[in-house]
Structures are given as C-alpha cells and as structure tokens.
Amino acid sequence: MFFKKKTIQCSSCNKEIQGGDEFYLRMRYPYYEGSVRIKKFIEVEGVATCLECVKKSSS
C-alpha cells in the first residue's frame, strides 16, 4: 500500500527525514495553546535540518 503523506524534508538538501532519523528542528514556540497538533505544527512552522547538513555547516 502506498499512502500519500506529507513528509518533513531537510531545508538544505531536501532529503526526506525518515522515521527514526535524528534531525535538527528550528521552530517557534506556538503562540496559541490547546488543540495544537504538534506534527502539523512542525510541518508548517518547523525548519528541519538533517545531521549531514548540520555537520557540513559547522565544519
């Protein structure tokens, strides 16, 4: 079965962040409280960076 779903990608190399992957996420704390679905919020507001790109940019 193939499910079309939104994935989180590295903002630098566009690599998909897979389940279980370690990655860095920069995001704002939500302004609003309550029924925030954290996964949705990360998709909309989060800037993900994979470990390789973090290593690249820090070296």
Radius of gyration of the chain (CA): 13
Nearest residue (CB) to Zn ion, 35 versus 58: 58
Give the whole-angstrom CA distance, residue 1 versus residue 17: 20
- Of 8-16, 21-29, 37-45, which part binds Zn ion (CB under 5 A)? 8-16
6: which DSSP letter? -
- Of 1-9, 15-23, 27-35, 37-45, which part binds Zn ion (CB under 5 A)? 15-23
Check binding of 9 to Zn ion (CB under 5 A): no
First and final C-alpha spacing in the chain: 41
- Where does this chain bind Zn ion (CB under 5 A)? 10, 12-13, 15, 50, 53
